[in-house]
Every structure is written in structure tokens, then in C-alpha cells.
């Protein structure tokens, strides 16, 4: 009786039909193709984001209603916040050069430059949008463009398009 119940609970027909599909390869996700697509254009995306970052430094970052002035990356009242657009422009220029160099060391150095850009952009976002004495500045589009483009540069630097040989070494000398 126990044998009969054990076999009755199994679905032998379904088990047999699923066994037919064991020889067919299942392709749900092909990481080689999707990563190749991302890596193919990452240098160009990073260069465009670096140019947008420089443009964002010249656009308005915040409007301060108490003094009726708009601050940018290169202008603040009595230069209190300095000129953060200058350092971000230097980081962007270095990142553009490193995106164009097809060497492993350049891609690794670009990660450092991109991380510094994100950290400095986050600092600038907090400084320029912080409230003081009960007055909160109005955030402008340049402030958002700055932080978003710095993050895009960092993401693009994670996926470099560098050709490697079978030994794992860079083919371009």
C-alpha cells in the first residue's frame, strides 16, 4: 500500500516530459552581450558627462533671496564658497583625457578621479543648498546637473572598453 501511495503522489508523466528539455541550452541572460554593449559606449558617455559637468559649473546653482543673487560654480558673494567649478573643470578635463587613453592604468586612474568628482560634487551640493539664518536658497538646475553628471562619469568609469588578450594583459602597448 505504501509503495502504491508513493508512486501515486509522483507525477511520472510530467517528470518524463521535462526530461526532454534537459539537452536544450537555456539562455535567459547572456552577460557577455549586455556588458559588451555597455562597455562599447561607456567612454563616449563619460566624455559627454564630463563636458556636461563643465557646462553645469557655469550655469546657476542656487538663488539666495536675502541678497538677491544667483551663485554659480565660479561666483559666490565675496567669494565665500570659493570657486568649486574650477576644480570640477580640472577633474573633468583629466577624466576626458583618461577616457581617451586605451590603457589599464588610465582606466584605474579614472576611477579615482571620478570618485573625487562625486565626493566634491556632493560637498558642493550640500554647501550651496544649505539653509542659514532661517533662509533657504532656491536650488537651480546647475546644481542637479553637477551631481548627476559626476555620478554618470563614475558609472562610465566602471565599464571601460579595453581590449585584453588571453593572458589578461592589455593588447595596446
Residue 32 lies in a domain: no
* Residue 12 is assigned to a structural domain of this protein: no
Q: Is the pLDDT of residue 173 over 50?
A: no
Q: Look at the block and give the residue holding cell 573633468.
A: 92
| Residue 6 maps to a domain | no
* Structure-block grid coordinates of residue 9: 503522489
- 27 three-class SS: coil
Instruction: Identify the domain containing residue 121 by its residue range.
Output: 61-159
In a domain, 70, yes or no: yes
Give pLDDT tens digits for 122-148.
999 999 888 888 888 999 999 999 999
- 1 part of a folded domain: no
Q: Considering the domain boundaries, does residue 36 fall inside one?
A: no
pTM for this predicted structure: 0.70
Domain count, the chain: 1
CB neighbour class for 122 (10 Å; exposed up to 12, middle 13-18, buried from 19): middle
Q: Could you say which DSSP state residue 67 is in? A: T
pLDDT digits (tens, 9 = 90+) for 37-78: 556 778 889 999 999 999 999 999 899 888 888 988 888 888
pLDDT digits (tens, 9 = 90+) for 101-123: 888 899 999 999 999 999 999 99
What's the pLDDT at 92? 95
Q: Phi/psi at 138 (nearest 5 deg)?
A: -90, 120
Q: Which residues of 49-73 are buried (b: 16+ CB within 10 A; e: fewer)?
A: bbebbbebbebbbbebeeeeebbbb
SS3 100: helix
Amino acid at each position: 500500500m505504501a509503495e502504491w501511495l508513493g508512486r501515486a503522489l509522483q507525477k511520472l508523466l510530467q517528470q518524463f516530459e521535462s526530461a526532454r528539455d534537459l539537452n536544450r541550452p537555456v539562455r535567459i541572460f547572456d552577460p557577455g552581450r549586455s556588458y559588451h554593449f555597455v562597455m562599447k559606449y561607456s567612454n563616449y558617455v563619460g566624455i559627454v558627462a564630463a563636458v556636461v559637468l563643465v557646462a553645469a559649473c557655469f550655469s546657476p546653482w542656487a538663488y539666495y533671496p536675502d541678497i538677491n543673487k544667483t551663485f554659480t560654480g565660479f561666483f559666490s558673494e565675496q567669494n565665500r564658497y570659493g570657486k568649486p567649478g574650477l576644480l570640477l573643470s580640472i577633474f573633468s578635463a583629466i577624466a576626458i583625457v583618461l577616457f581617451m587613453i586605451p590603457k589599464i592604468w588610465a582606466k584605474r586612474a579614472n576611477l579615482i578621479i571620478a570618485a573625487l568628482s562625486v565626493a566634491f560634487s556632493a560637498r558642493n551640493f550640500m554647501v550651496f543648498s544649505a539653509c542659514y539664518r532661517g533662509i533657504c536658497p532656491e536650488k537651480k538646475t546647475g546644481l542637479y546637473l553637477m551631481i548627476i553628471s559626476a555620478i554618470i562619469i563614475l558609472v562610465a568609469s566602471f565599464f571601460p572598453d579595453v581590449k585584453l588578450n588571453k593572458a589578461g594583459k592589455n593588447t595596446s602597448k
